[in-house]
Amino acid sequence: MKNSVLLRFAALTYASVTVAAVLGASAVSAAAPTVVNVGIANASSDVAFFIADKKGYFRQEGIDAHFVSFDSGAKMVAPLGAGQLDVAGGSPSAGLYNAVTRGIGIKVVADKGSTPPGYGYQPLLVRKDLVASGRYKTLADLKGMKVAGSATGSASTSTMNEALKKAGLKTSDVERIYLGFPQHVMALENKAVDAALTTEPSATQAVRSGAAVRVMGDDQIYPNHQLAVVLYSNVFIHAHPDTAKAFMRAYLRAARDYNDSLANGKIAGPNADEVIAILTQYTPIKDASVYRSIVPQGTNPDGRLNIASLENDLAFFKREGVVKGNVSVAQVVDTSFVDAADAALGPYKPRTK
């Protein structure tokens, strides 16, 4: 009798432990974060992604963000359309609009980088020797020059167009050379190009090396330009709608932290040290003084997009013949994720100290 009781007790104990183990494994499985593949350009405008990762905002939303580097936002369009990327931080490029005309599902969902006054983060650089010799004095002197950009049909090509218009020039008056932003520095140093529209921190690197002179900020060339955006793939939107909303909440929390690091056109606000430390950790540039020197991008703390700027760029792409068809900005933009995140987070309140 005693042995029978002991055997029943042992069996019940084993069963209880087994059930607990199974339930525990299920709980761990349920809590496993969702992997989200995020395309980045390795530019300072990726900073909100980095902040959200470093400060645990993604993890708090059940997200494991995997960053994938590209030379330009234009090159992220194909993998986004194929669902190989869930999210991307790139430019509202001609390739994006052409993809939409082909039925490929990609949406512009939030601001990532813009050029409000004082925050011209993709300036026009001209080789220092050309400035010193007098070959370059004004924008009109760009005629005949080789000018580096990130990719054909990128938003920066519209910036170049605005610069040329100010000088009475046409896009055909310059030769465009397309390279990844970090390569612009070497191209200027080697005199392979005469000028460049280069985003930070590469722009400051080129100036510091003595290769180039910053002749005009893109906030002067094209004020409030919607130069960089957050993109979602349709696969991400429709297959993982809750994760897409969660991603935006984490992103906007980070964008607000980033805004709290800004002051007078520099990363010099109340939490500048924290943001600079994150940039030096996540980017190839490990010298914090570079980030203290750069002109950072504007990023709307509520994620709001400049629709008029997007429409101006699309009109330029159509005039240049790099976008064909009847695609409109309204077909590409989806503000519902920003709307939901702002409702959840409340209005942005700047940190004062």
Q: What is the tens place of the pLDDT at every residue in 199-214? A: 888 899 999 999 999 9
Whether residue 94 contacts residue 317, with contact meaning beta carbons closer than 8 Å, is answered with: yes
Same domain, 128 and 270: no
Average pLDDT value for residue range 27-34: 65
Q: Cα separation of 258 and 269, whole Å? A: 9
User: Which pLDDT band, with edges at 50, 70 and 90, does 31 fall under?
Assistant: low
Tally the C-alpha atoms within 13 A of residue 175's C-alpha that lie toward its C-beta.
7
Report residue 352: phi and psi, to 5°: -100, -20
Same domain, 154 and 231: no
Query: Does 17 map to a domain?
Result: no
Query: Does 352 map to a domain?
Result: no
Q: Which residues contact residue 23 at a Cβ distance below 8 angstroms, ignoring those fewer than 6 apart?
A: none
SS3 assignment, position 54:
helix
Same domain, 305 and 217: no
pLDDT, tens digit, for every residue of 244-277?
999 999 999 999 999 999 999 999 999 999 999 9
- Specify the pLDDT at position 322: 94
pLDDT, tens digit, for every residue of 91-121?
898 999 999 999 999 999 999 999 999 999 9
Length of the chain counted residue by residue: 353
Query: Does 69 map to a domain?
Result: yes
Same domain, 93 and 142: no
Same domain, 106 and 134: no
- Specify the pLDDT at position 257: 98
Q: b/e for 174-202, b at 16 or more Cβ within 10 A?
A: bebbbbbbbbbbbbbbeeebbbbbbbbbb
Query: Does 329 map to a domain?
Result: yes
Count of the separate structural domains present in the chain: 2
- Specify the pLDDT at position 35: 97
Same domain, 110 and 159: no
Nearest CA to 122 out of 146, 147, 142 is that of 147
H helix intervals, the chain? 2-31, 47-54, 57-60, 77-81, 94-101, 128-133, 155-166, 181-189, 202-208, 218-221, 234-239, 241-259, 272-282, 288-293, 307-320, 329-332, 336-345
Give the structural domain span for 335: 33-115+227-284+298-345
Same domain, 197 and 341: no
- Examine residue 284 and say whether the peptide bond preceding it is cis (omega within 30 degrees of 0): no
Same domain, 157 and 197: yes
SS3 assignment, position 313:
helix
Q: Cα separation of 273 and 292, whole Å? A: 9
Which residues face 125 on adjacent strands?
196, 214
Nearest CA to 95 out of 25, 132, 150 is that of 150
- Specify the pLDDT at position 91: 85
- What pTM was computed for the model? 0.85
Residue 221 has pLDDT above 80, yes or no: yes
pLDDT, tens digit, for every residue of 301-322?
999 999 999 999 999 999 999 9
Whether residue 140 contacts residue 116, with contact meaning beta carbons closer than 8 Å, is answered with: no
CA angle 156, 158, 161 (to 5 degrees): 115
Last residue of a domain, one of 221, 244, 270: 221
**String of DSSP letters for 189-227:** HTTS-SEEE--TTHHHHHHHTTSEEEEE-HHHHSTT-EE
H helix intervals, 70-180? 77-81, 94-101, 128-133, 155-166
Same domain, 107 and 133: no
Same domain, 105 and 156: no
User: Which pLDDT band, with edges at 50, 70 and 90, does 351 fall under?
Assistant: confident
pLDDT, tens digit, for every residue of 142-168?
999 999 998 888 888 999 999 999 999
How crowded is residue 102: how many other Cβ atoms within 10 Å of its Cβ? 9
Higher pLDDT, 12 or 223: 223
Residue 15 has pLDDT above 90, yes or no: no
Q: Cα separation of 200 and 123, whole Å? A: 8
